[in-house]
Amino acid sequence: MSSAQPHSLSCPASLTRRDGLTLSRIVAGMWRMQEWQLTPQQRLRLIEQCLELGVSSFDHADIYGDYGVEALFGEALALQPGLRQRMQLVSKCGIRLVNAARPAHTIQHYDTSASHINASVEQSLRNLGTDHLDLLLIHRPDPLMDFDVIADTFQALRQAGKVRHFGVSNFSRHQFECLNRRIALSTNQVEFSPLHVDPMFDSTFDGLQDLGVAPMIWSPLAGGRLFSNNDAAGQRVRAAIEQVAAELQQPFASVVFAWILQLPSRPIPLTGTGRISAIAEAVQATQFSLSRSQWFTILRAARGHEVA
């Protein structure tokens, strides 16, 4: 199936199984939207094309694009506000950047205080032009975070109808479980790719699978390094993926996404592109599976040695 025919694909929905939150099996990551240099109408068309593919979840953070991406998305959504009912909006907070958009910030730092979480949510709602977020994540673990304060703040936001579900990003298994004991979390969004397999072996994925929580995956293509990294590991992994892609007669990127999707923790990968053809290749990964030997061929290349 060619990625040049995106509308022939459909991405099945995935249930995170803890609290009823439904996210599309592939999530459209918006963090680079500012770099795509799209007009509001072009941004709207990209959103519409994602929805046509079944990609109904859109990932944001307050800091993306120097605090500008959410407003760009909101500007496009305002052109067709009825689309809001067909999508899930995800955002993150907890990082304060030194930036012209935030002149009061004198040092880059984390802030998971109740006041900062609440202020970030209010700003995200204004920027996105919506009355609620479907999912809010704490962006990074904060050495000063108080699990009880975060849980109480999340609960108040839910009661106010401003955020429906909660999660974290880049948390260790222990950090996730500490907060999850206080309020049910829907996901932990972590970095994972054939060039970064740590969550598979540091108990992150095992812990989430045990709880029935699906991780979200950022940088599944290693930030593009799978296509360009020319060190020994990059060449080895790329050759293995190319071999499997040829056997399956599937696009290179589709094989990477399929490799990730095959994990029993049911990961939900994010794209990071404004090209609908590339998003379609990610969706195409939901249509096929690797054999066990093909899957381990890529893992062996990723680790640089046999499993035993």
Asked if 197 and 227 touch (Cβ cutoff 8 Å), the reply is no
User: Distance between alpha carbon 281 and the CA centroid of its chain, in Å?
Assistant: 16
Smallest CA-to-CA distance from 281 within 307, 308, 256 is with 256
Point out the catalytic residue in the list 23, 28, 64, 92: 64
Distance CA 221, CA 272 (A): 9
Number of neighbours of residue 27 by Cβ within 10 angstroms: 27
Distance CA 51, CA 7 (A): 10
Distance CA 232, CA 44 (A): 41
DSSP per residue, 200-261 = HHSSHHHHHHHHT-PPEEE-TTGGGHHHH--SHHHHHHHHHHHHHHHHHT--HHHHHHHHHH
Q: Is 64 a catalytic residue?
A: yes
Smallest CA-to-CA distance from 213 within 15, 58, 57 is with 15
Phi–psi pair at 293, nearest 5 degrees: -70, -35
For the chain, how many helices (H) and strands (E)? 13, 12
Which residues are part of the catalytic machinery? Answer: 64
